[in-house]
Amino acid sequence: MKKIFVSAIVLILSFTLMSFRGGKDVRAVSGEMRGIWIPYMSLTLSEGERTEQGFHRKIDDMVKKCAEYKINTAIVQVRPFSDALYPSDIFPYSHIITGTQGTAPDFDCLKYIIEKFHEKNIAVHAWVNPLRVSTGQTPAYIAESNPCKKYPTFTYKDGIYYDPSYPEVRKLIIDGIAEIARNYDVDGVQIDDYFYPSEDLDYDKKSYDEYAKSVKSDFLPVSQSEWRKANINMLVEGIYSRVHSIKENIVFGIAPQCNFDNNEKIGADVGVWCSQRGYIDYICPQIYVSNDHPVFPFEPLADRWKATVSNTDIKLYTGLGMYKAGSDADSGTWLLSDDNLKKQIEYIRKINADGFILYSYEYLESKSTEKEVKNALSVID
C-alpha cells in the first residue's frame, strides 16, 4: 500500500488556509445542553438479551430514564472498536450486540435508538472512537472483514490503533462517519479523547521517519509531535467538512481530556480547534474532577476552557464526572460534599458556558451517586 507523506510546506499551508475558511450556520441545542454519554458498556447485550425485543427493552428503559432526568441530548457510542452498531458497508457489526464482531443482528440498532429518543424530543449524537481497534482482549475476536486487516495500524502496549498519518486511513474514518450522517437522522457526531495513545515516540517512528525523508532538502521536517498534531487536524477538518457537506443542520464536536498538557502530548490541538473555523461546532472537555481536587479543582479548569474557546461560533459544553460522585476518587475530595455536580452546573452557567454532558448513563441511578444526582436535578429545569 503506497503512502503519500505530507511535506512540511503542505502542513504549514493547511494551517494557513484553514484560518480563512468560512463557517456554516448549524443547528445547536436550543437552550442549555443537558447531555449524557451512553457508552458501549451500557448498550452491551447479555446472552439472554440478544434479540430484537431484548434490545428494544434496553433502549426503551434508557429513553424513559433520560426523559425523567431532563436530559435533552444522548451521546451514543456507535463505533467503539473499528465496528458499527448499524449496517455498514465499511465496518463490521459490533460484538456488543451479538457477542461476536462481524455477526449482524436482524434489526438496525441505531435506527431504533434514534427513533425512540426523538419521540421524547431528545437529540442523538453518534459517538465514534476514530482510531481505536482494540484494547487488551476487547474485542476478543476481530472479524476478517474489519478494515484494520488492510489499513495501516500501530500497536501501543495492549492496544491496536489506526495510523492517522496515512491519507487512506483518514479517508476511511471520514467515510465511516459520513455513512452515519448520510444514512441516519442523527443530530450530531462526536469523537472522544482517543487520539495518539501517548507521547512515546517509538510506536509510529517508522511512519514519521518516512515522512521526514520525503521532505525536500530546502525544508526541515516538523517535529514528530507537531507532525502528529497536523495529522489529527487534517482528520478533524476532514470530518467537519464532510458531515456539513451532507447535512447543513448537523453538529460535529470533540470531547477531549480536560488536561491541556495531556492533550498536547497526544496530538489534540485544542487551541486551534477552539479558535479557528472549519474544525468543530462544539467542544466538551471531560472535566471529571471534584470542586476540591488537590491539583486540578473544577472551577479554574472551567475558566481556562472558557478562555480557550475564542471562536464565538463554537459552543462550550462541560463534561462532568458523575461516575466519581460518592467515591474516594481525587484523593477523597468527592466525599467532602454531595453537591459537587450541582455547584459545577451552577458555575458553568455563571461563566456562560453552553451546557454540560454527564458521564455516564450507568450512574444516573447508582447507589453511590444518588445524593449528588438528586442535588444536581434540583437546578435542572
User: What is the CATH code for 8-283?
Assistant: 3.20.20
Q: Which three cell numbers stand for residue 221?
A: 521536517
Express each pLDDT in 337-358 by its tens digit. Answer: 999 999 999 999 999 999 999 9
In this predicted structure, which of 5-9, 75-79, 113-117, 163-167 has the lowest mean pLDDT?
A: 5-9
pLDDT digits 0-9 by tens, 225-253 = 999 999 999 999 999 999 999 998 999 99
pLDDT for 6 equals 46
What was the pLDDT predicted at 116?
A: 98
Does the pTM exceed 0.85? Answer: yes
pLDDT value for 278: 97
109: Cβ–Cβ under 8 A, 6 or more apart, which residues? 43, 55, 85, 86, 97
Region 75-104 average pLDDT = 98
pLDDT at 311 over 80: yes
Which residues of the chain does CATH 3.20.20 include?
8-283
Peptide bond into 139 cis (omega under 30): yes
Q: In what order do the strands lie in the sheet with 282-283?
A: 286-287, 318-320, 355-358, 33-38, 73-79, 123-128, 188-191, 251-254, 282-283, 315-316
Signed CA dihedral, 22, 27, 28, 31: sign only: positive
Q: What's the pLDDT tens digit per position in 144-203?
A: 999 999 999 999 999 999 999 999 999 999 999 999 999 999 999 999 999 999 999 999
**Structure confidence at residue 15 (pLDDT):** 43
As a whole number of angstroms, the distance between CA 221 and CA 217 comes to: 9
Using the predicted structure, report yes or no on whether residue 4 has a pLDDT greater than 80.
no
Q: What is the pLDDT of residue 161?
A: 98
Per-residue confidence band for 8, with pLDDT thresholds at 50, 70 and 90: very low
Strand partners, 190: 127, 253
pLDDT exceeds 90 at position 257: yes
Q: What are phi and psi of 8, to 5 degrees?
A: -60, -40
Residue that is written with C-alpha cell 467503539 in the block: 80
